[in-house]
Amino acid sequence: MTVLEGQPQPVQRMSLGAGWRRAWRTGDWWRHLGLGGFLFFMFLPFIITIIISFKDIPQFDHYPFTVTFPLHPDNYLEAWRIVSRYILNSIITSGTSVIGMVVLAAIAAWAFARYPFPGRELFFFGVLALLMVPGELTLIPAFLLVKDLGLLNTRWVLIAPYIAGGQVFAIFILRQFFEALPGEMFEAARIDGANELQVFRHIGIPLSQSILGVVAIMHVLSTWNDVIWPLVTLRSNELMTLTIGLYAFRTAWYTIWGPLMAGYVIASIPLIILFAFTSRLFVEGLSSGAIKM
């Protein structure tokens, strides 16, 4: 990165101690300072959440924002009893819908990318146009639809629309990727006697694992975080997903901050675990430069 040689460098750098001299010379010290400042404030709410999650009520009343002893890890047990059901529900909902969505979207995107069938662009436009339709327009009719279908207060009321809606963006991304795959490889497989399904399953899919992963993660994030749809379609506490479950938890436990904050921490863990395993995919997928207008 020759870029950086041109950065303004402080004149007085030679007069400083050896350790600092290096930081001055590279010109990076103030960048670390700036980034550190931003990160401090970005993480501050989470740090305080963790601190409070170990407090009982008197500890919070006297010293709300500093670490107090003894710690109260039992807050986590209490919160787990309430939140665990919601987490399980969210895992079932997001998990089922992401599998269904990726399978259907991959098949459809493959069709759009590799076969010049009559009406291809028209059908594709029919998918793309839905990117322009905001949830506000469809919320009410969709609610009345699932009500008429008798799906209210079942798991399917979330899963089916999530599969349907998630496909739109996924097909858009996957088609571009499938089209860019080298066609010679598929020709070679066909010559060797593979049928269309085998070409897709044994060559197309393995080559596309990373992009399928990115699409899947984005779908999990968006369904996991959805508030309004589960709020209007689910009534029973047994089926509530994490978002509305936490919302109900907060309303019921307001001012009992220790277990509440422990609940927030527990609620964040599944996605952090997912992220820990997929961060490379995630960071590189977003950094690939393909995302612009």
Least distance CB 130 / another protein (angstroms) = 5
∠ at Cα 191 (185, 192), nearest 5°? Answer: 90
Q: Which of residues 85-114 bind another protein (CB under 8 A)?
A: 104-105, 107-108, 110-111
Residue nearer to another protein on the CB measure, 34 or 73:
34
Q: With beta carbons less than 8 A apart as the criterion, state whether 99 and 167 touch.
A: no
**Does 234 participate in binding another protein (rule CB under 8 A)?**
no
For residue 28, state whether it binds another protein (rule: CB under 8 A). Answer: yes
At residue 9, what are phi and psi to the nearest 5 degrees? -120, 135
At 59, list the tokens.
Answer: 């500890």
In the complex, the smallest distance separating the C-beta of residue 197 from another protein, rounded to whole angstroms, is 9
* Subset of 61-90 contacting another protein (CB under 8 A): 64-65
Kindly tell me which residue out of 228, 235, 237, 277 binds another protein, with binding defined by CB under 8 A. 228
d(CA 185, CA 179): 13
In the complex, least distance from residue 14 CB atom to another protein, rounded to whole angstroms:
19
Stretch that binds another protein, among 12-20, 74-82, 182-190, 267-275 (CB under 8 A): 267-275
Q: How far is the CB of 216 from another protein (least distance, A)?
A: 14
Question: Min. distance of Cβ 84 from another protein in angstroms?
Answer: 15
Amino acid at 181: L
Binding of another protein by 246 (CB under 8 A): yes
Residue of the chain from 50, 152, 221, 256 that contacts another protein (CB under 8 A): 221
Nearer to another protein, 120 or 202 (CB): 120
Q: How many residues bind another protein (CB under 8 A)?
A: 100
Question: Per rule CB under 8 A, is residue 142 in the interface with another protein?
Answer: yes
The answer to whether residue 181 forms part of the interface with another protein (CB under 8 A) is: no
Q: Is residue 3 within the footprint of another protein (CB under 8 A)?
A: yes
Cβ burial of 105 (10 Å; 0-12, 13-18, 19+) is buried
Question: What span, in angstroms and rounded, lies between the C-alpha atoms of 257 and 60?
Answer: 8
Instruction: Report whether 97 contacts 166 (CB < 8 A).
Output: yes
Per-residue tokens: 266: 């527990």
Q: Is 51 in contact with 66 (CB distance < 8 Å)? A: yes
Q: Does 53 bind another protein (CB under 8 A)?
A: no
Q: In whole angstroms, how close is the CB of 238 to another protein at the nearest point?
A: 19
Handedness of CA 44, 244, 75, 275 (dihedral sign): negative
Scored b (16 or more CB within 10 A) or e, 167-185 reads bbbbbbbbbebbeeeeeee
